Structure 1
Amino acid sequence: MSLVAPVTIHKIAGESLSEAPDLLAVEEPLEIRLGFGPATDRQQRPVSVTMRTPGHDEELAMGFLFTEGIIQQPADIISCRHCVQDSQKEGNVLRVELHPDVAVDWSRLERNTFTSSSCGLCGKATIDAVMAVSPGTITADFSVEPAILHALPERVRQTQLAFAYTGGIHAAALFDADGKLLIVREDIGRHNALDKLIGAAFWQNWLPLSQFGIFLSGRIGVELVQKSWLAGVPVLAAVGAPSSLAVQMAKEARMTLAGFVRDSRFNLYSEPERVNTSQLIFDS
């Protein structure tokens, strides 16, 4: 499946009108189904439908299932493949077969609706819910230079092929202390891009990501902090602004949170000691 779709548009500039070709980011639904149960009594159940940009669907599913607490290690998965028996949904249904020994806590999927901004829970309840399933506060000995964060937006942008054509797609990038990009994933959904990245790292057995940072191309909502916390990420940086609850959760996790990372500037909202500012001049 392609990441972009061609269209013809009418362009208006001032008082002039012209017709031109253009490219749009593809958005299609992905249904994630689980195969589970003992070998003698396998069952199937849909667990999620998300609107995503096709590509790296297996990583998206694994990242989602890991951050929802359904799987813990690659050995929990027997197979992960698209279903093709339904021609109308071909390529948009993914079945993940779990090892027979994996016990699925279906109530956890229902409880984790706290990530919705409209769920009505207070900030404390949301953070408590994540803390109940997290591995604990982040204590990783990981730090970066300010110059590394300054360079990330352009480095990531250079890898974003779909964004270059459409201008309408998000990215999540995994970087090390030297600023090297190890994984970059794109999707029309911010959460999906991060799930794809975490899924890729999960499958390579890199979790917890204690010696890496994650860079996001958009704003930072609480659910992105939640996913990063569960993956063990010590530094989360983004082009956009964090929400108040995202900052609260980052503080509880002891995760370094950097926002507005662009134009050679950024703001630190929590755990600033992981960014080496000793050479900077303090402007009071």
Structure 2
Amino acid sequence: MNANPVTQHFIKRVNATNSVGIDDQLAVEEPLEIRIAYYIDGGKTEKAISVTMRTPGNDEELAVGFLFTEGIIQHAAQIEKVTLPVFRENTVVVTLDSSFEPKLGSLERNFYTTSSCGVCGKASVDAIKTASNYLHFDKPISIDRHILFKLEKQIAQRQDIFETTGGLHASSIFDQNGDFLLLREDVGRHNALDKLIGATLTAGLVPLSQHILLLSGRASFELIQKASMAGIQIVAAIGAPSSLAVQLAEESGITLIGFLKKDKFNVYSGFDRIQEI
């Protein structure tokens, strides 16, 4: 396993008049097998849940976030430990607490997941509408629109690997004042968000109902579904949302913002959470 998220590759850089040979920086993409170990009928069993193409780093957070956003676990307390087996490269094993038996029957996902499409392996549209425990917001959030204008600059300053390779997505979380809290990067946009949610779940911050999620690219259906699982009320994306993402945001009561720049943005749902619009 290449633990470094960046690797070098010799290339020829070409323009209209000449070419030059240089070492270029590439974002690493490798498979990660996510497995769970759990206790059933007095014995311990282990099961492969998914293989996802990801950028190495924060693999434990990725596995925890994946299990949470898929609805397999609901709380960090249901996890006994997370390990990276020494003799099994590109594998992470999440051992569940002995008192908790996961419900795996509803997990209709094929074994392989690409870095670009987290739901490509889903068996049906109904199967990807994972039920969230945080659909009803007990404490509403309302923010000044000018807070959103300063988010893009903050995420750009902290995308270290993207700055080097130009090849990664980022998910970042801010408080309701627009102050930066945490960022995770990955070659897959859904992996970046799973890493972020896994980190916040482990830190005891979920539900993230008083936070703002910023996506470095477009807002897809699955990213809104994952945000809903974490109780996020406001999702902002640098790129465009899909029609299904907007539909799910409306159904989930999420404020969805797209095309976020330093001086403008579009609001697609949940208008009441943004002041003065």
**Shared fold (TM-score, shorter chain, > 0.5):** yes
Give the CA deviation at 1:140. 3.7
Partner residue, 1:220: 219
Q: Does 2:247 match 1:248?
A: yes
Specify every segment of 5 or more residues in structure 1 that has no aligned partner in the other structure, as ranges: 279-284
Larger helix percent = 1
For residues 4 and 232 of structure 1, the distance between their equivalents in structure 2, rounded to whole angstroms, comes to 32
Give the CA deviation at 1:40. 4.3
SS at match of 2:107: helix
Aligned match for 1:69, one of 51, 68, 71 = 71
Give the CA deviation at 1:44. 0.7
Q: TM-score under structure 2 normalisation?
A: 0.91
Specify every segment of 5 or more residues in structure 2 that has no aligned partner in the other structure, as ranges: none
For residues 172 and 214 of structure 1, the distance between their equivalents in structure 2, rounded to whole angstroms, comes to 7
For residues 230 and 242 of structure 1, the distance between their equivalents in structure 2, rounded to whole angstroms, comes to 18
Aligned CA RMSD, in angstroms, stands at 2.1
Give the CA deviation at 1:111. 6.9
Contact kept in structure 1, 2:109 and 2:123, CA below 8 Å: no
Partner residue, 1:17: 19
Alpha carbons of structure 1 residues 121 and 46: separation in structure 2 relative to 1, 3 Å: closer
* Aligned residue pair count: 269
Aligned match for 1:116, one of 112, 116, 119 = 119
Partner residue, 2:199: 200
Partner residue, 1:258: 257
Contact kept in structure 2, 1:137 and 1:252, CA below 8 Å: no
Partner residue, 2:170: 171
Contact kept in structure 1, 2:211 and 2:233, CA below 8 Å: yes
Alpha carbons of structure 1 residues 126 and 261: separation in structure 2 relative to 1, 3 Å: farther
Contact kept in structure 1, 2:10 and 2:23, CA below 8 Å: yes
Q: TM-score under structure 1 normalisation?
A: 0.89
SS at match of 1:164: helix
> Per-residue displacement from partner, 1:45-91 (whole Å, max 9, x unpaired)?
110100111111111011000011111112111110101223xxx2x
Contact kept in structure 1, 2:150 and 2:262, CA below 8 Å: no
SS at match of 1:261: coil
Partner residue, 1:281: none
Aligned match for 1:106, one of 104, 107, 110 = 104
Partner residue, 2:44: 42
Overall identity of the aligned pairs, in % = 43
For residues 222 and 157 of structure 1, the distance between their equivalents in structure 2, rounded to whole angstroms, comes to 24
